[in-house]
Amino acid sequence: MVLGRQFARLADRRILLAYWPWLLVLIGLLLVRVSKGAPIVDLYALLSRPFWPGTAQSEWVRQAQRVEDQQRIAQLELQLEELRQGSAHPAKGKAGIRAAVISRRSEGWWEQLELGAGSLQGVRPGASVTGPGPAALVGRIVSVTPTTARVALLTDPASRVGVELRGNGSQGLLRGMGTSRPQLQFLDKDVEVQPGDVVVTSSASSLFPPGLIVGVIQSVDQQAVPAPQALVQLVAPVQSLDWVQVR
Amino acid sequence: MVDLPLGRPAMVLVSGSLALLLSLACPWWLQLDGLPPNWLVLWLLPWAVVEGSLAGALAGLVLGTLHDSLQDSGLTAVPALVLLGLWWGRFDSARRPLERSTTLGLLAILGSLGVNLGYALQLRGGGPLPVLHITLAQSLLTGLLAPPVCSLFVLIWRRRSTRHAR
């Protein structure tokens, strides 16, 4: 009863009329929070557009994309031929979206990039982000706004990616450590691994397409418990990334 | 330089947005070992010492919420910024001397330490992160930038403040 009276007093039109600007501010604040800062990041993208990275690295991305397109055409031709012969396999791969890195926070409490391409360009949450070279994994899209996208990097302390060694297929979990080199924890005790081995995304991973290059084993700790651990040098160093590809 | 052709609300909006945008931009020449200064602390300190505890805490709440929305780690700066706003706001009523740049620098260092300590506590010690390195680098840079930036903003807010109207 008392609560009901208090609520009725709060809902009094005069009070609402007196405080409506503050209510608007509160609603605006909540909207920005729920949209993960979309208006701020879009404003940032708009204002920083004249300072976006140059086209040199963009050209590498374009060349890599061209090679990939050619491979795709060859694959489609092969598939068409197989269709004619009645033994087709499902099509694999799709063209990526080039995006400039407009904000880089690769040190500190969280490690993320903001890209200058968003839902208007076809970027979707969950997509893989690779460097300008041959399909070197950088991270994963975690949120998008109309003109920007946020990437959680492999080096972020919250990042966990299923990976395997190219060659012997030993499975492991790549954990971000907040430094430039993430840690690979193997699942099996008996693993044949040595510095220089190539790490790729696992065929069992549900987050990333299999076979994307992640990095190279830099050092191995065979004595680690319960299974060996290794430090991985990433193929796509975040500090020098100006353009990336979203797949 | 202090008399910018902007009213108080517009100045609050523009400077607050600038603090958030600079948090995103992180120009390399304003970084120490890859870490930027804490722009939120640099904005909140002059605002709170001029406008008082309540305005400081509210500004801390708003700035912290907006800043949290710019990252997906789940960490929040809101409690630390609200407490800092409350604390710094008391300097106005206590009429403690603030014009000395060393005081502003020291308060900014303590503020940055507080925000980073808040993050470390949320991660229960920081996990695998180099907590000490991050905290010291950011606090030092924030403390170095505080005297020029905060002194200027203290003057700007005092000119526009209703509490300090002449």
The two three-digit tokens of residue B32, written as one number: 């120490």
Tell me which CATH code domain A160-240 carries: 2.40.10.350
Residue B152 covered by a domain: yes
Tens digits of per-residue pLDDT, A101-152? Answer: 998 887 788 888 999 999 999 999 999 998 876 678 899 999 999 999 999 9
Give residue ranges of B with CB < 8 Å to any A CB.
Answer: 17, 20-21, 24-26, 33-35, 62, 65-66, 68-75, 116, 119, 123, 127-130, 134, 138
Using a CB-CB distance cutoff of 8 angstroms, which residues of chain B are in contact with residue A112?
Answer: 71-72
Cβ contacts below 8 Å, chain A against chain B, sum to 84
Question: Are B47 and B56 spatial neighbours (Cβ–Cβ below 8 Å)?
Answer: yes
Residue B2 covered by a domain: no
Tens digits of per-residue pLDDT, B5-39? Answer: 667 788 888 999 999 999 888 788 888 888 899 99
**Nearest residue on chain B to A25, alpha-carbon basis:** B62
pTM equals 0.80
pLDDT at B115 over 80: yes
ipTM for the predicted complex: 0.80
Is A73 in a helix, a strand, or coil? helix
pLDDT at B165 over 60: no
Number of H helices, E strands in chain A: 4, 12
B17 with A40: Cβ contact below 8 A:
yes
User: Closest Cα of chain B to A52: distance in Å?
Assistant: 11
Residue B76 covered by a domain: yes
Instruction: Let me know if the fold of A50-153 is the same as that of A160-240.
Output: yes
CATH code of B86's domain: 1.10.1760
The closest alpha carbon to A118, from A99, A96, A101, belongs to A99
pLDDT at B109 over 50: yes
The two three-digit tokens of residue A244, written as one number: 């990336």
Task: Please give the residue range of the domain that contains residue B101.
Answer: 8-160
Using a CB-CB distance cutoff of 8 angstroms, which residues of chain B are in contact with residue A45?
Answer: none
Question: Are B67 and A41 spatial neighbours (Cβ–Cβ below 8 Å)?
Answer: no
> Which range among A78-92, A117-131, B47-61, B137-151 shows the weakest confidence by mean pLDDT?
A78-92
Residue B3 covered by a domain: no
Using a CB-CB distance cutoff of 8 angstroms, which residues of chain A are in contact with residue B24?
Answer: 40-41, 44, 103, 105, 114
Domain residue spans of chain A = 1-33, 50-153, 160-240
Residue B1 covered by a domain: no
pLDDT at B87 over 90: yes
Question: Are A68 and A95 spatial neighbours (Cβ–Cβ below 8 Å)?
Answer: yes
A32 with B65: Cβ contact below 8 A:
yes
Residue B165 covered by a domain: no
User: Closest Cα of chain B to A158: distance in Å?
Assistant: 7
B21 with A158: Cβ contact below 8 A:
no
Using a CB-CB distance cutoff of 8 angstroms, which residues of chain B are in contact with residue A174?
Answer: none
Contacts of A118 (CB under 8 A, 6+ apart): A42, A144, A145, A146, A147, A148, A149
Tell me which residues of chain A have a pLDDT lower than 50: 89-92
Counting the structural domains of chain B, the total is: 1
- Residue B95's pLDDT band, with cuts at 50, 70 and 90, is low
A50-153, CATH topology level: Thrombin, subunit H (2.40.10)
The distance from CA A121 to its chain's CA centroid, rounded to whole angstroms, is 16
How far apart (Å, rounded) are the C-alpha atoms in residues A130 and A111?
A: 16
Q: Which of A35, A108, A143 sits opposite B72 (nearest CB)?
A: A143
How far apart (Å, rounded) are the C-alpha atoms in residues B124 and B50?
A: 34
Residue B54 covered by a domain: yes
Query: Which of B18, B73, B122 is most worth mutating to test chain A (most A CB atoms within 10 A of its CB)?
Result: B73
Residue B17 covered by a domain: yes
Using a CB-CB distance cutoff of 8 angstroms, which residues of chain A are in contact with residue B119?
Answer: 109
